[in-house]
Chains A and B, each alone.
Chain A
Amino acid sequence: MRYGGQGRRDPATTAVADVSLDVAPGEVLALLGPSGCGKSSLLRAVAGLEPVASGTVAFVGHDLAGVPVHRRGFGLMFQEGQLFPHRDVAGNVAYGLAGRPRAERDARVRELLDVVGLAGYEHRPVATLSGGERQRVALARSLAPRPRLLLLDEPLSALDRGLRERLAQDLRDALRATGTTAVFVTHDHDEAFTVADRVAVMDAGRLLQVAPPEELWRAPASRRVAQFLGYQAFVPLDALSAAQRAAVTRDGAGTTSGVVAVGPRGLRVVGRGATPAPRTGPGTGRRTAPARGAARWWAACSGAARRR
């Protein structure tokens, strides 16, 4: 699967430019980027829902230009599910299975509802489902025709945090279980890291870095990528002492140019009680706020506001 150097042009804007991505069979690739960075446009272009101004979308070597959406064999899952309101759960899941024998269709619907954890929901009207259940049905529906490639457009963004984390895990299991090749668009890096084998970071219509989650986290290619991943403080290496440099770089103190990014939990106040006192550490304490089981402390150091 390859889409090389493609751009989508509106009369005045280019949503995506110079993006070249390959997806291996069975791989789950996450497209990660802030809202409006062009990742959804890219996804829609791959699905054939948006015209591509230049560049190609190709699948196993075949250019897909001119192939209409319904013949591409690509599944697409939307943020709000887009279930058919006039069909029940089974009717929705079976939509992509038209033309197959009834018994086979029923078996496939049962199998997929089982995969997404909704066994026995066949005859429920979709209006009675909760947000999470709808997304599960939408996933089952898009997996049912065994798409050659499944495109997921922020499928979990409309859900609350706890549900999102649980569903991200389930989503990964479902994609694994069915061996589906998938491109997953999200603005949430935790979600991308949970679901994907590789993560492509996009910003302003350009591709910044493509790497497996651990590598991306360990060595962001640029400050922009690091910022987007949640790194907040950036310290030039030459501002550190040799001992400090040795502690933070891989080759000891050899590297002197560059920037050290400090992650959300990179610096911690140890001891002295759970909450840092306003005057702990270098710099002036500004405010503290509880965050996920720990206290977060904002401080001003060298004139810049930094979060610890």
Chain B
Amino acid sequence: MLPLGVSAVTVGFGFLITLDRPLGIDVDLRTSGLLVPIAQAVVAIPLVVRTVLPTLRAIDPRLREAAATLGAAPGRVFRTVDAPIAARSLGLAVGFAFAVSLGEFGATSFLARPDTATLPVVIFRLIGRPGAENYGMALAASVVLALLTATVMLLAERLRGDRPGGEF
């Protein structure tokens, strides 16, 4: 839960000052296009965990025991019992993570490079510039962002279906 509690700005700033040589590997992540997805993943992981974990915990241990007495080794139990039951909530979690990453601003604004900005960063930049054209473009971009996020969330909710024992 820590990444949720810590301001995304701190996460972004921290990434900027620490990831010039991550783990001693000679790769400067700060100039790499990978940095933004990594930061967004850090921000979104708590949501994924929060969505998937309750489903995994809710699986009756006796269901796994039943599988074991039917001759399933632990690996097969995970593959055939835990994974399929968790799959739906995993789909929901992926949707959440995608929507959150799409709209993430705090960390991304620090890390996005001028040539590869994300939608919220573009909107911020457009508003900062004078002129009705820029303002209009910012409005249009906001509508696009809102529509995208809404669509993704709707799809994710759909995917989750109305199974009994659902989470949230």
Contact = CB atoms under 8 A, between A and B. Distances in A.
A145 B71 contact: yes
A70 B74 CA distance: 8
A70 B63 contact: no
Contact of B66 (A82, A86, A98): A82
Contacts of B76: 98
Contacts, number: 61
Contacts of A49: 65, 68-69
Given A78-B62, A78-B66, A82-B60, A96 B84 contact: no
Contact of A82 (B62, B71, B85): B62
A69 B68 contact: yes
How many A residues touch the partner, as a band? 20 to 34
A78 B69 CA distance: 11
B69 A95 contact: no
B80 interface: yes
Nearest to B85: A86
Given A82-B60, A84-B63, A69 B85 contact: no
A180 interface: no
A70 B71 contact: yes
Interface in B72-128: 72-74, 76, 80-81, 84-85
A85 B85 contact: yes
Interface in A116-146: 127, 141-142, 144-145
A73 interface: yes
B34 interface: no
B25 interface: no
B132 interface: no
Max chain A Cβ within 10 angstroms of own Cβ: one of B66, B68, B72, B76:
B66
B84 to A, nearest CB: 5
Given A95-B72, A96-B70, A141-B70, A69 B65 contact: yes
B29 interface: no
A171 interface: no
Given A82-B62, A84-B63, A142 B69 contact: yes
Nearest to A49: B65
B62 A142 contact: no
Nearest to A71: B71
Contacts of B67: 84, 95
Max chain B Cβ within 10 angstroms of own Cβ: one of A68, A84, A142:
A84
A109 interface: no
Contacts of A72: 69
Instruction: Please provide the 4 A-B residue pairs with the shortest distance between their CB atoms, ordered closest to farther.
Output: A96-B70, A76-B69, A69-B68, A82-B66
13 contacts: A49-B65, A69-B65, A69-B68, A72-B69, A75-B69, A75-B70, A84-B67, A86-B84, A95-B67, A98-B71, A98-B76, A142-B70, A145-B70
Interface of B: 60, 62-63, 65-74, 76, 80-81, 84-85, 164
Given A71-B71, A95-B70, A142-B70, 11 more contacts: A68-B68, A69-B68, A70-B68, A70-B69, A70-B74, A84-B80, A95-B67, A96-B71, A96-B72, A98-B76, A151-B69
